[in-house]
Each structure stands twice: as structure tokens, then as C-alpha cells.
Amino acid sequence: MQPSSVASSYEFNTVASLINQPNGAAKIAELCSQLGISRPLVVTDKGLMATGLIERFTRPLHTAGFPICVFDDVVADPPVDVVEQAVQRAQMHHIDGVIGVGGGSSLDVAKLIAVVCGTEMALKDIIGVDKVIGKRLPLILAPTTAGTGSEATPIAIVTTGSTTKAGIVARQLYADIALLDASLTEGLPAAITAATGIDAMVHAIEAFTSAIHKNPYSDMLAHNALRLLSRNIVAATQHGENTLARQAMLLGAFQAGQAFANAPVGAVHALAYPLGGRFHIPHGLSNALVLIEVMRFNLESCAPLYAELAASFDLNTARKTPREIAECVIDTIDNLIQSLPLTRRLSALGVSENDLAMLADDAMLQTRLLVNNPRSVNFDDALAIYKKVL
Ligand SMILES: NC(=O)c1ccc[n+]([C@@H]2O[C@H](COP(=O)([O-])OP(=O)(O)OC[C@H]3O[C@@H](n4cnc5c(N)ncnc54)[C@H](O)[C@@H]3O)[C@@H](O)[C@H]2O)c1
Ligand SMILES: [Fe+2]
């Protein structure tokens, strides 16, 4: 089989430092000192506060004599005013560094606090691509879901209206340290483990087929991420306390994040976002719902690339054409999703046939993502995909 064509010139950026260590949270005070943080702000949500996990950070900080401020008002798909409240709190307490602990929502808010407090720019002025001028505050990100890869990306997503989201993309959003500590994910409920894990797999798949910025570094990371995620997602979902599986999921999600930070995602995400915006279906589940049908649609344009992914799933490819191997890859992912506790039909989540045109219209607005898809997607294509998963 021919290797996929890759850009001969490319740029690859990522976070400065990765700490991959179960119970790594115990060294948070040392990490703050390394970064020159003396007044840290811990950013999280109420759900995580209720688990007691935040004490893994606050206790060692307290013991080491750091004054601690916690902002725990992050909500899923954080709206702009939550970020603004967090910034006010941070400024009131004169914080000089930010520790984000949680899923993508908490990590995204942590990134934005560090940028807004460090640069003194207004949030509204940094929405978009490369709008940030100046330096952010020191930033440590510790994911508690193995999904979004936010700890590895220069992206933060905020909700700007009742159904609209906007992205802030800038180099300053890369953290100083990504801390992958499996002990933080051991209590993550099975359904969230499964959905966020599929989100991470989608990042790897879409980075590998990214139409514009596909590059050899992202490819290598996407392959490795898919291997780690596909081999561990069932164990992590069924046996949450399995530290090895949890750590592998965190590393896989991180590597998928590194990959798509440089080779951006496409139509799976473009069709998933309207499901989150209109029906509040969680991001990972939205991706899981449309993934297989988008892959089947893309087959016509990228069967050889999907076929290359067979290596990450250890599939037997002997005496098969690239198209047959690609179909085998899609069936393997489909079977994997079927084995997880995930809803497979939009109708089970309150979506009706009458809603599909609105969803397809919204998907068409995701031009930033659709340009990365290996096959161009029009309104009728999007509508047909939604119909298949109704
Ligand atoms: N920055 C990026 O690159 C990027 C990429 C994709 C998505 N996102 C954004 O990330 C957000 C979604 O993030 P998410 O899917 O991680 O969900 P999330 O952060 O919204 O968290 C989902 C739920 O899981 C709970 N939770 C998290 N960790 C837990 C744990 N260890 N134990 C028990 N409960 C736990 C939280 O309390 C919350 O109720 C969206 O806002 C999305 O737009 C960002
Ligand atoms: Fe995603």
C-alpha cells in the first residue's frame, strides 16, 4: 500500500511540557514553584468539587503554604459571562498563575483566565484566530476526562448565544504543563468515559484525514493515539479503577489533541456541533452519533487513508484492496461504539425528523471545520447523514 501523501513543508506546535504520571497531582506545589506561581487559581466545576478530587491539588498547595483561590463555577459548554466572572475573581485575588482541573469546559475557562489576566485584553477582542497580543499567566492543565485534548491544544470554546459557540485560537493558549494523572479519571462515570473517549478517537481520525494541514508529526501521533484509545476504551469504561487503562486513555487523548491542534478536525465535528448547540447533547456523544455515517460518506475520497488506519487496530489486511480495508476499519469502529454504553439514535435524544433541516443548515455554517474534511459536504449530504442516524 502507498503511504499517504503528506505536506513537504509544515509547522508543528505543541505544549512545552508533558507530565505523564499517575498521582502526579501530588507534585503540584513543586510545579507551581517551577513556573514562578505564588498565588494560584484552581479552576474547575461543581461536579468535580463534589467528587473531592480538587483536594488532590488544594491539599499539597496548602501544605506548601500557597494561598489558594478556587473558582468552581464552570459549567458545561461555558458561556462568555462565566469566563468574565472568573476573570473578575482572579483579579480580585491578584492571582499569578492558573491551574485548570476538569473536562474540556474547565480547561478552556482556565486557558482564557490566564490569557485575559496576563494580557489585559477583553474576551470579546480575542475571539477568533490569532487575536491575542502579549503574554498569558503561567498555566497548568490537568484533564479529568480523556477526551477533548484541550490540555494539548491552543483552542478554547465559549458559548456566545443560546445556540452558538465561538473559538479562541492562539499560541498563547498552549499550556506550560499538561499533567496527565490517571487517578483523577478513575471515578469518571462509564457513559462519560465512553463518550469522551470516542471524541478523542474522532480527533485522531479527523487529524489523519485533515485536508489542509495533514503532516507527518500529526499522523504519527494520530496513529499512536488510536492504538492507545481503541485498546483501552472498553476496559476504562467497564473497569473505571483500572489505572493502566485510564493512563493510556489520557495519553491517547493528549496525543490526539496534539495531532488535531496542528491538523484540524472536519465534518464529524461540523455535524456534531449543532447537536450540542440545539439539543445540548454532550460533545463526545454528538461525535459518536455521526462518526460512522460521516466516515462512510468520506470513503469515496479517502479510502486509502482510512485503510492506513488499519495498522492502529491491528487488522489483518492480507489480500484486501484499500477500499475493503477502509470498510473493515469503519466496521471495527462501529462495533467498538456498539460495545459501549452510548445512545446510537438521535430520536432517542429528542431530535425529530422536522429538526434535521435546521441541523443541516447549522452544520453548513461550520465552514472553519468543513474545509478540513477530505470530501466536500453540502446541505443535502449533511441532511442525508442526519437521516441515517435518526
Ligand atoms: N479546547 C479544545 O481544544 C476543545 C476541543 C473539543 C471540545 N472542547 C470543549 O470542551 C467541552 C467539553 O468537555 P468534556 O467533554 O471534557 O466535558 P465537561 O468538561 O463539560 O465535563 C462533563 C461532565 O463530566 C464531569 N466530570 C469531569 N471529570 C470528572 C471526573 N473525573 N469524575 C466525575 N465527573 C467528572 C464534570 O463535572 C461535568 O459534569 C465543551 O465546551 C467543548 O466545546 C474544547
Ligand atoms: Fe472534539
Instruction: Report the candidate in 196, 199, 206, 224 with the shortest Cα–Cα distance to residue 264.
Output: 206
CA distance 15 to 262: 12
How many whole angstroms from 145 Cα to the centroid of ligand 1?
A: 6
Q: Which of 74, 99, 98 lies closest to 158, judged by CA?
A: 74
298-321 b/e (C-beta count within 10 Å ≥ 16 → b): bbeebbbbbbbbbebeebebeebe
The structure's pTM equals 0.95
Residue 256 in contact with ligand 1 by CB distance below 6 A: no
Atom 34, ligand 1: which residue's CA is nearest? 188
Shortest-distance Cα residue to atom 27 of ligand 1: 103
> Using a 6 Å cutoff on CB, does residue 77 contact ligand 1?
yes
Ligand located closest to 155 CA: 1
Q: Are 269 and 366 in contact (CB under 8 A)?
A: yes
Concatenated DSSP letters of 334-357: HHHHHTSS----GGGGT--GGGHH
The alpha carbon of 111 is separated from its chain's Cα centroid by a whole number of angstroms, namely 14
Q: Calculate how far, in angstroms, residue 186's C-alpha sits from the geometric centre of ligand 2.
A: 21
> Rounded mean pLDDT of 350-377?
97
pLDDT at 143: 98
Of 136, 133, 157, 137, residue with least CA distance to 82: 157
Nearest bound ligand to CA 178?
1
- On the CB side of 227, CA atoms within 13 Å amount to 11
In degrees rounded to 5, what are phi and psi of residue 157?
-115, 130
2 C-beta neighbours (distance < 10 Å), count: 8
The β-bridge partners of 99 are 42, 140
CA dist list (Å): 107 to 98, 178, 376 = 10, 10, 32
Give the pLDDT confidence of 303-315 residue by residue, as tens digits.
999 999 999 999 9
Rounded to whole angstroms, the Cα distance separating 164 from 319 reads 47
Q: Whose Cα sits closest to atom 28 in ligand 1? A: 144
- Of the listed ligands, the closest to the CA of 182 is 1
Residue 163 CB: number of other CB atoms within 10 A? 15
- Residue 133's H or E segment, with its range, is none
pLDDT at 7: 56
d(CA 214, CA 35): 33
Pairing of strands 165-169, 155-159: antiparallel
pLDDT exceeds cutoff 90 at 161: no
Ligand 1 atom closest to the Cα of residue 257 is 3
Q: What is the pLDDT of residues 11-68, one digit of tens each?
A: 999 999 999 999 999 999 999 999 999 999 999 999 999 999 999 999 999 999 999 9
Distance CA 277, CA 153 (A): 21
The single-letter code of the amino acid at 245 is A
The atom number, within ligand 1, closest to the CA of 284 reads 15
Tens-place pLDDT, residues 325-359: 999 999 999 999 999 999 999 999 999 999 999 99
> Measuring from atom 25 of ligand 1, which residue has the nearest CA?
47
Mutate to test the pocket of ligand 1, among 145, 169, 243, 254 (most ligand atoms within 8 A of CB): 145
How far is the C-alpha of 272 from the C-alpha of 276, rounded, in Å? 7
- What is the whole-number distance in angstroms between the Cα of residue 196 and the centre of ligand 2? 8
Asked if the model's pLDDT at residue 94 lies above 50, the reply is: yes
- Ligand 1 mutation pick, 43, 48, 164, max ligand atoms within 8 A of CB: 48
Q: What is the DSSP letter of 53?
A: T
- Work out the number of other CB atoms within 10 angstroms of the CB of residue 76: 15
Q: How far apart are the CA of 31 and the centre of ligand 1, in A?
A: 23
What structural domains does the chain harbor?
Answer: 24-180 (3.40.50.1970), 190-388 (1.20.1090.10)
Residue 143 Cβ contacting ligand 1 at under 6 Å = no
Is residue 6 pLDDT above 60, yes or no? no
What spacing in Å lies between the alpha carbon of 47 and ligand 2's midpoint?
21
| Closest listed ligand to the CA of 156 | 1
| Structural Rg of the chain based on CA atoms | 20
Name the residue among 230, 302, 215, 306 with its Cα closest to residue 264. Answer: 215
> Ligand 1, atom 7: nearest CA belongs to which residue?
148
- Give me the mean pLDDT over the 123-144 stretch: 97
Q: What is the whole-number distance in angstroms between the Cα of residue 103 and the centre of ligand 1?
A: 3
Q: CB count, 10 Å around CB of 118?
A: 19
Ligand lying closest to the C-alpha of residue 266: 2
Is 33 touching ligand 1 by the criterion CB < 6 Å? no
Query: For cell 488544594, what's the residue?
Result: 58
Q: Is the pLDDT of residue 81 over 70?
A: yes
Contacts of 176 (CB under 8 A, 6+ apart): 15, 16, 17, 35, 138, 139, 140
Q: Is 374 in the pocket of ligand 1 (CB under 6 A)?
A: no
